[in-house]
Structure 1
Amino acid sequence: PSTWNKQAWECFQTGYDVIIGHLQAKMLALSSEHAVLLSASGAVHTWGLGSHGQLGHGGLASEEEPRIVEALWGMPMSHVATGGWQSVCISDGDLYVWGWNESGQLGRPSRAQYQDASTSPAEEPKEGEQHEEIFISIQAFPALLDVTPLCEIRTVSCGCRHTAAVTSKKPNFTMVTCDYGQLGQQNLLSSDEPQQVEFFREQQMHVTDVVCGAWNTFAAVAEEEVACS
């Protein structure tokens, strides 16, 4: 295990009683190098390695003890999850994301995704025109993910470089890199925008939960009831 993974676990293990007693912990999410804790009051605390903005404190510094994510203060959270170097949480159906976005795993514009999608060299801007692409490699503060069409996020899980969520209106959507088909789109294409997994709709299945492994995704489903006409 990495040094920060060991330190984060030791911090949690040796300070378990203190953390639980002080924060009244409700949920804990662990990656290989950082931890995200949700308290009973809905506050989010993070600690461990911060080199990719995954702690959500606005910088890249690491934290040896749990520190509240101040940017989320006043917005009670109901769920937290973490992947390789990204973290996410849910508040009243809204999804907040932060950390590493190199592959688009935060649903933000990704240079890797743009380069993969390009089949020809970018055109040079004409005289007097500006040609500038804005990419986000690191999102050090929590950012609200804009999901279109508007829907409520029920639960979310993170892989090494991908994220999956269950919504109230759409059965399931995934986003980001897809080197091994983990997005469920029946291809190996990557995406830095949320996409619905059409398979479940086509099979008339209702997704109830989702869990991401490092490079794969598992979904719990139920067959949808078809009303008789």
Structure 2
Amino acid sequence: MSVNWFGFGFNGFGQIDPQCKDEQKDIRVLRPVVLDSLCTCAQTFSRTGLSTEQKTEIQKVVASWSQSAVIHISGGEPRGVCVHGAESGVLVSEGEGCEDALLTESFLILRFSHTVKCWSLHRNSRELVWSEELNTTEKTGNALQLPLVPGGYIGSKPPFFRPLPPHLQAVSLALGTEHAVLLTASGTVYTWGHGSHGQLGHGTLVSGDEPRAVEALCGVPMKSVAAGGWHSACISAGGDLYVWGWNESGQIGLPSKGLREESQREEESIEKDKLKGNKKEDKGTSDVFISIQAFPALVDVSEVSEINKVSCGSRHTAAITSTGDLYTWGWGHYGQLGHGSRCSSDEPKIVDFFSDGRMSVEDVVCGLWNTFVSAVPRNRVPS
């Protein structure tokens, strides 16, 4: 039984459903839709020796603001990469056999067994702009996922290869808009880059060019890290979720003054006629609101299960529990929370599309303003 991939949120360039863009429908996808339109790229496979009638599956989805890229597999083998969105086009034979992908607004980076290559995505100019051999003799080389590569990581713009000190023993790395979050083999979290919104987790708004351990997390081994626009997250070995940084839209799961005031204005508008113009009493004036959380904060997502995976968008966050449920929170203007509305939330809420449909979520990838999810029927035992 194959895994189904779904998408929801900003679709202004057809990066979730190209047909919606062509038909000039709403640029918002408010509820998860199956990525059928991204599963078939006849041009790609007809030129790599694969019949257009053969079924392909999605192995992985990566996203930037206006684009999404899909690694296709057939018979368990990577067959090519399709790019959908503002600068949409198809990488044909060049993408065959790729093991991992990283997408920015201007570049598509593909990792192969022994090399990493970067293509320009400028309109009518899909040229190879950079390539480098990988030192696959390193013990952790084959297990690393982009943007990590042996000896360093791949940046979002030139110079693409950035070295990392060997003593860090990096096993995972997440890139935000202006910062990076790294996980070491010992479970220690390091951050660097811009810190103007507290996204480095050091208790200040100061930036830093060199990796620095997040002291507030020392002594608590972590197993996963994520980075968004201006916020960061990590999951402990015990399944606890820690989030820090900018909370303007409730993306770190703590009370947001802006969201509460917006909600109050909506309630006042609804009650205006009943109250004959009298303003409702503000019951939230004594609440503590968080605009910037410069230290990691423990966020309770689910009282009954641990967190297995987390991903961060520009101003929203998504997490998968050990029971296969998906929770989202933060900015929801384009439907990127998957709740069927444009409402934002500073509290994690379950995406009932999957739980009500008896689906278990296996993976989640947040684009800046959208979300991509893989799920299987709950009666299936994952391999």
**Corresponding position: 1:13 with 2:161:** yes
**Corresponding position: 1:29 with 2:174:** yes
The Cα shift of 1:202 comes to 1.7
* 1:74 maps to which of 193, 197, 219: 219
* 2:199 maps to which of 54, 57, 73: 54
The change in CA–CA distance for 1:11 and 1:93 in structure 2 (over 3 A counts) is: farther
Tell me the amino acid that sits aligned with residue 338 of structure 2. G
Q: What SS class does the counterpart of residue 304 from structure 2 fall into? A: coil
Give the corresponding residue for 1:153: 307
| Coordinate RMSD, CA, aligned | 2.2
* 1:101 maps to which of 219, 242, 247: 247
Q: What SS class does the counterpart of residue 117 from structure 1 fall into? A: helix
> What are the equivalent positions in structure 2 for 1:37-52 lying under 5 Å apart?
37-52=182-197
Q: TM-score, normalised by structure 1?
A: 0.87
The Cα shift of 1:207 comes to 0.4
Tell me the amino acid that sits aligned with residue 161 of structure 2. Q
- CA–CA distance in 2 between the matches of 1:12 and 1:28? 15
Tell whether the 8 Å contact from 1:207 to 1:220 is kept in structure 2 after alignment: yes
- CA–CA distance in 1 between the matches of 2:228 and 2:346? 16
The Cα shift of 1:176 comes to 1.3
Q: What SS class does the counterpart of residue 78 from structure 1 fall into? A: strand
- CA–CA distance in 2 between the matches of 1:170 and 1:191? 21
**Corresponding position: 1:191 with 2:345:** yes
The change in CA–CA distance for 1:63 and 1:224 in structure 2 (over 3 A counts) is: same
The Cα shift of 1:132 comes to 1.6
Runs of 4+ in 1 over 4 A off after TM superposition: 7-12
- CA–CA distance in 1 between the matches of 2:176 and 2:302? 28
Give the corresponding residue for 1:4: none
Q: Deviations over 1:66-105 (max 9, x none)?
A: 0000000011100000000000000010000000001000
Tell whether the 8 Å contact from 2:318 to 2:326 is kept in structure 1 after alignment: yes
Tell me the amino acid that sits aligned with residue 373 of structure 2. A
Tell me the amino acid that sits aligned with residue 290 of structure 2. I
- CA–CA distance in 1 between the matches of 2:228 and 2:326? 18
* 2:234 maps to which of 79, 82, 89: 89
The Cα shift of 1:147 comes to 2.5
The change in CA–CA distance for 1:110 and 1:201 in structure 2 (over 3 A counts) is: same
- CA–CA distance in 2 between the matches of 1:179 and 1:165? 19
Q: Deviations over 1:95-139 (max 9, x none)?
A: 0000000100000000121012112245268xxxx9422110000
* 1:123 maps to which of 267, 281, 288: 281
Larger radius of gyration, structure 1 or 2?
Answer: 2
Q: TM-score, normalised by structure 2?
A: 0.53
- 5+ long unaligned stretches in structure 2: 1-103, 105-154, 269-278
Q: What SS class does the counterpart of residue 160 from structure 1 fall into? A: coil
**Corresponding position: 1:111 with 2:257:** yes
- CA–CA distance in 2 between the matches of 1:34 and 1:145? 21
> How many pairs does the alignment contain?
214
Give the corresponding residue for 1:176: 330
- 5+ long unaligned stretches in structure 1: 2-6
Give the corresponding residue for 2:320: 166
- The answer to which structure has the higher strand fraction is 2
